[in-house]
Amino acid sequence: MPEFANSGESWMLTAPGTRSMTLRSLLEDGYLGANTLPVLKMKIVLMYLLGKGVWQFYDSGLMADEWTKDNVEFMFEQRLEEGEWTIGVFLNQPLIPAPSCPSPPQQSDAKKSSYTIFPKIRQLGIMLLEVVIGREIDNYKGADPSTRGKPGGLKDLWEARQLYEHWSGKNDWPNAELVVKAIGNCLDDHQFLPKSRDKNNPDFSVRSVLYEKVVRHLEGALTVNYAVSDPSHLSLAPLFKHRELAKRSPRGLAHKMERPSTWNHTASQRHQQASSSPTESPVSTASPIESHSDTWFSELDKLSELLRARPGERDTKYDQRKVKIAVIDTGVSEEKAGVAYKDFVDGEDSKIQQGSGHGTDIVELIDSCIEESSLYVARVFDGEGLANERTPDLVAEAIRWAQEMEVDIIVLALGFSHAHDGIRRAISDAVHRDILIFSAAGNYGSTMKVAFPARLPDVMCIFSTTPGNKPSREINPPARDMDANFAIIGEIVKILDDGSPPRRLQGTSIATAVAAGFAASLLDFSRQLVYRRKQREYGTPDLKSREAMRAVFRELSSGYKHEGYHCVLPWQLLNQIPKDGDREVRRQELCGLLNGWLR
C-alpha cells in the first residue's frame, strides 16, 4: 500500500483568521452543479484529495471526528494570472479541520455510532456524493433543517443511499464506474468490518481496506481521465475569482420597479444597490458558474424542442390558437418586429420606445423559451424606467388592455411596496377570464416582504434561484407560509444583444420572464393535436387555468424545496419519459404525464 507522499502540497491546517469558504458554501452557491469538462476535472481532483486525505489521517490524532462539508474549507489563494494578482478559490488546496490539541492515534472509529460501523468512512461517502451531484444531501427532498451542520445520522445515510442508487444508474461521467465503486463502498461501510476486525492479520487494517476499496478507485479515475496519479501535476482554474467583486455594478433598480442587476462572474454578494443606468462592462469569458447557467438553458432547450410543434404535427385549430403574452414594462426595442405595442405614458403608440431596456430584456427571455407566440407590450414606465404617482394607474389600465387583446399570459416583472385597488381589481377580472399572471417577488432580500401585486393569491409569484436550483438568498424576499413559493433561475442569465457582447442579468424580474416563457411553451404544447387527444381521454382541465399551471409547477419542484421555496426544474419532465426513441412516442408519454398530474 503506497504512502501519501508530499501531503503538505495539497492539504493545509486551518489557521485562525484564514479567509476561506466551506464545501457547503460552494455547493449551496451552485459552483459544483455544472458537469462541464473544467468542473468535472475539479470534482475528480477534489474527490481524490478527500479520499486520500481521510485515508492518510484516519488513525491519526488530526482526525478526531468526521470530515464534513461544514468543516472542510478552501482558502482564498493569491496567484499571479496574466500579469494581475488574483484572489480565488482553488479546489486542489483544501484545508482540513485539525484540533488544536491532537488526540492520540485511534485504531478505529467503529464504536462511535450506533447507526453506522465506520462514521468517518460513511461521511466521506456522503461528501463524495455531494461533490458528484453538486448539492447538499441534507437539502435533498426537504430534509429536516434542524440537522443542518451536524455530521448526520440514519436519515442522512438513507438519503445518501437513495440518491446514490439514482445517480449510479443515470450519469454521463467519463469512466464513471470507478467513482461509483468508491462512493458505494463508503456508503456500505459494513464491508470494512471483517478485515478491520481480523486481529490475527495486522495487514488487514481499516486503512488498508480503505485504500483498496476507495482510494485506489479514485486514483484510477484521476489516472484514466487525466493520465496522472498526482493532482499537483494538473493545472486547475480557480473556481471563481474574488478580484471581480470590485468590478460588479448593477444595471439599475428603478424606484418601485424591480429591475434586474448585471452579473459579473461571482456568486458572492449578489444583492445589488440602486442605480439608474447601466455601468457594467461586458464579460468576455464564461466562468464555471456562468457555464452552469448556460447548461441550465441548454437543458431547457432540449425540452422546448420536444414541446415545439413541427410542420407535420400542426393542424388548423392549433395554428389559430397561438399563445398570446402581454409584457407590461418599460417598452420594447423597435427592432422587435411583429410586437403589438401600446404606450400608456405618452400615448404615442406609433413611436416604439424601450426606455431603460428592461422590457426588451424580458421579451428576449420569453422569446428564448417559446418560438411561436404573439407578444403584446405595454409601456407604463418613463424613459429611465422610473415609477411616479401615475404608474400604478397605468399598470391597471395596461392589464385591462391586455384583457381586451385576449391574451393568455400577463407578465408583470415589476413590483410596488404598497397595494393599489385599481391593479387588484384589474387582476381579479383577468383571472376570472383564465388569464395567467406572473409577477416578480422583489429584489430586496429579507429586508422587505413580497412586492405587490406578486403577493396577491391569484398571481403566480416568482422568486429567483441560482443555476444550481437553490434559492437566491440575497435577492428573494422571505418565503411565505400560505402558498407555494415558486422559484426558477434568475441569476447569471445570459442576454444576447445584436452586435454586442452578451450580458449577464439577475433578479426576480429575470426569473419571472423565464417562468412565464416556460409556462407559455407548456400552454402551446397543450394546444397541439397530440395533447388535445390525450386531454379528452383523461378528461383533465385546460392547462391555462391557474390551478392547473400551479399543479405542474409543484410537480416540477418536487424534491427541490429549499428553505420554503419550491425550486422549479423544467426538464424533470424529460427525466420521467424515455430518453431515446421515436419522437411521437416521447411526445405522447409527455402528454400522459402532464394529464396525469392534472387528474
- Provide the CA 440 distance to its chain's centre, in angstroms: 17
Catalytic residue among 358, 361, 368, 557: 358
How far apart are alpha carbons 351 and 342 in whole angstroms? 9
Q: Is 509 an active-site residue?
A: yes
Q: Are the CB atoms for 392 and 344 separated by under 8 Å?
A: no
Q: Are the CB atoms for 105 and 60 separated by under 8 Å?
A: yes
Of 431, 432, 409, nearest to 526 (Cα)?
A: 409
- Which residues are 324's β-sheet partners? 374
Positions of E strands within 83-188? 84-96
How far apart are alpha carbons 36 and 32 in whole angstroms? 10
Q: Is 249 an active-site residue?
A: no
Of 118, 128, 138, nearest to 168 (Cα)?
A: 128
State which amino acid sits at residue 233.
Answer: H
Torsion on CA atoms 500, 505, 511, 515, rounded to nearest 10: 10
Q: Pull the grid cell for residue 319.
A: 395554428
Positions of E strands within 145-270? 240-241, 261-262
Q: Is 166 an active-site residue?
A: no
Which residues have C-beta within 8 Å of that of residue 382, sequence separation ≥ 6?
Answer: 345, 355, 388
Catalytic residue among 113, 291, 368, 509: 509
The sign of the CA dihedral 579, 580, 585, 586 is positive
Q: Are the CB atoms for 546 and 460 separated by under 8 Å?
A: yes
How far apart are alpha carbons 215 and 50 in whole angstroms? 9
- Provide the CA 293 distance to its chain's centre, in angstroms: 8
Helix, strand, or coil here: 440? strand
How far apart are alpha carbons 376 and 398 in whole angstroms? 10
Catalytic residue among 109, 138, 329, 367: 329
How far apart are alpha carbons 469 and 451 in whole angstroms? 22
- The catalytic residues are 329, 358, 509
